[in-house]
Amino acid sequence: MKHKFIAKRYWKDKSTAMGQSDIAAKSFDDVINLSLGDPDLITHDLIIDKSYADARAGHTKYTDFRGDPELRQEIVKYYKDEYGMDIKDEEVFVCASGCLGMYLALEAILDAGDEVILQAPYFTPYPQQVELAGGIPLELPTYEEEDFQVNVKRLESLITERTKALIINSPNNPTGSCLTPEVMKEIAQIAEKYDLLVISDDIYTSFSFQNPFVPFASLQGMKERTIIINSFSKNFTMTGWRVGNIIAPDYIIRVIQQINENVVFTAPSISQRAAIYALRHRHEIQPPMIEEYRNRVFYAAERINRIPKLSVIYPPKGSFYLFMNIKKTGLSSLEAADLILREAHVLVLPGDAFGKCGEGYVRIACTVNVETLKEAFDRIEKIEQFK
C-alpha cells in the first residue's frame, strides 16, 4: 500500500499466500481447508491441565530473559537424551515461536547486504525475514527428480564473499523431504570451507517417517557454526501457545537476548510452563499424534497418485505436508490452486509461494482427519482437467 505514513519498503504488497488463505477459506460455506499447517488436534490434556495449575500457582509473570530456567534445563536434557548432544544452558534461548526465533537469529548475525542462501522450496516467510534483518535472500532450488535433496555443487555456485549463512529445513515444509546423512555431511564440508553459519529450522523433527531425525548441529564440527530453531507448535500441536527456542553459540544467544528485550521482552510464562510438560511427557504424548499424522499423509499420497494428472513422491518421508505435482495439467500453480478451490471447494497453497522452483506444484497440509481428506480427494478427482 502506497501511503505517506507507510514505510516505503512496504509500498509494494508483501503479503504471503498463507496470509491470503484466510480470506480464500471464506469463499464457500463448505471449504475444506488444507492450506495452513495448523492441526485440527488440540494440545494434549496433560499439557493444558498442568500449565493451568501452574498459572493458578502464580506463573503469570515475566520469566528470566533467556526463558524459564526449568524449561531451559528440560531442553538441555532433551538433546542429551535424544541425540547424545551436550548443550550448555548458556546456549539456549526461549522465544515466542519459531518464526520469531528465525527473525531474532537473522537480526543477530546479519549486516546490511549480507547474503543468506535458502534451501528451496522454503517456508514462505524466510525471504522477507532475511530482508527485515538487512540481508539479501538467495534461492537454492531443489528438484523432485533429485528427491528434493540439496545439490552441493549448486549450493557452492551461489556462494560469494558476501554469503553469511545457509538456511536448511528438514523434514521440509513444503516438500516433506528429509536431507540424507550424506548430503548433510556435504553441506557441513561446504560450511566449513567457506566459513558459513547454518541455520537449521528443526520444526518437524518428530515427523521423520523413514529414518530417525539427526540434528545438523550433531555433525562433527557443526555445533559451533549452527543455529537451531525449534518450536513446540508442530511437534506438540501447540500452535496457539507461541513458544519455541533457539540453540546457538553463547555469544550469539547473548545478542539475541538483547534484541528480544526490545521486541517482546520474554516469551509467555504460561506457554513456557506448557513446554516443560510437553518435553517431560513426550513419550506419552507424541506417539499417537505422530501415528495419526503418518496415517493422514500416507492416505493422502495414495489418493493423489490415483488421479491421472497428479502425483506426489511415495512413500512420504516427513512433515505433514505433500507437495503435489500438477505439471501434467498444463496449469500454473496459482491456476491449479484456484481451480481446486472453485470446483472442489478445497483450499490449498500454490507451490510458487515457496520459491520459484515450487512452480508446478501445490502444497497440501494434512491437518484434517482421514474422513475429511477422503471427502477432499473425492471432490478433487472429479475435476476434468485432472483426469
pLDDT digits (tens, 9 = 90+) for 180-204: 999 999 999 999 999 999 999 999 9
**Backbone region of residue 343 per phi and psi (left: phi > 0; alpha: psi in -120 to 50; beta: other values):** alpha
| Predicted pLDDT at 23 | 60
Q: How many CB atoms lie within 10 A of CB 26?
A: 9
Does the pLDDT value for residue 226 go beyond 60?
Answer: yes
Mean pLDDT of 360-387: 97
Considering the segment(s) 45-282 as one domain, its CATH architecture is 3-Layer(aba) Sandwich (3.40)
**Dihedrals φ, ψ of 303, to 5°?**
-65, -40
Q: How many CB atoms lie within 10 A of CB 118?
A: 24
**Dihedrals φ, ψ of 177, to 5°?**
-75, 155
- d(CA 131, CA 248) in angstroms, rounded, equals 21
Spatial CB neighbours of 145, under 8 Å, sequence gap ≥ 6: none
| Predicted pLDDT at 4 | 86
- d(CA 219, CA 376) in angstroms, rounded, equals 41
Domain boundaries, the chain: 8-43+285-386, 45-282
Mean pLDDT of 338-342: 95
Burial class (CB in 10 A: 0-12, 13-18, 19+), 308: exposed
| Predicted pLDDT at 1 | 75
Burial class (CB in 10 A: 0-12, 13-18, 19+), 345: middle
- d(CA 207, CA 173) in angstroms, rounded, equals 11
Mean pLDDT of 70-75: 98
Mean pLDDT of 52-79: 97
DSSP 69-106: HHHHHHHHHHHHHHH-----GGGEEEES-HHHHHHHHH
Mean pLDDT of 141-150: 98
- d(CA 24, CA 216) in angstroms, rounded, equals 37
| Predicted pLDDT at 12 | 80
- Grid cell, residue 283, equals 513419550
| Predicted pLDDT at 15 | 64
> If we measure between CA atoms, which residue out of 191, 187, 306, 197 comes closest to residue 251?
197
**How long is the chain?**
387
**Backbone region of residue 15 per phi and psi (left: phi > 0; alpha: psi in -120 to 50; beta: other values):** beta
How high is the mean pLDDT of the chain? 95
| Predicted pLDDT at 26 | 67
- Grid cell, residue 374, equals 477422503
- List residues bridging with 226 in a β-sheet: 198
| Predicted pLDDT at 25 | 60
Distance of CA 159 to the CA centre of its chain: 24
| Predicted pLDDT at 29 | 86
Task: Give CATH for domain 8-43+285-386.
Answer: 3.90.1150.10
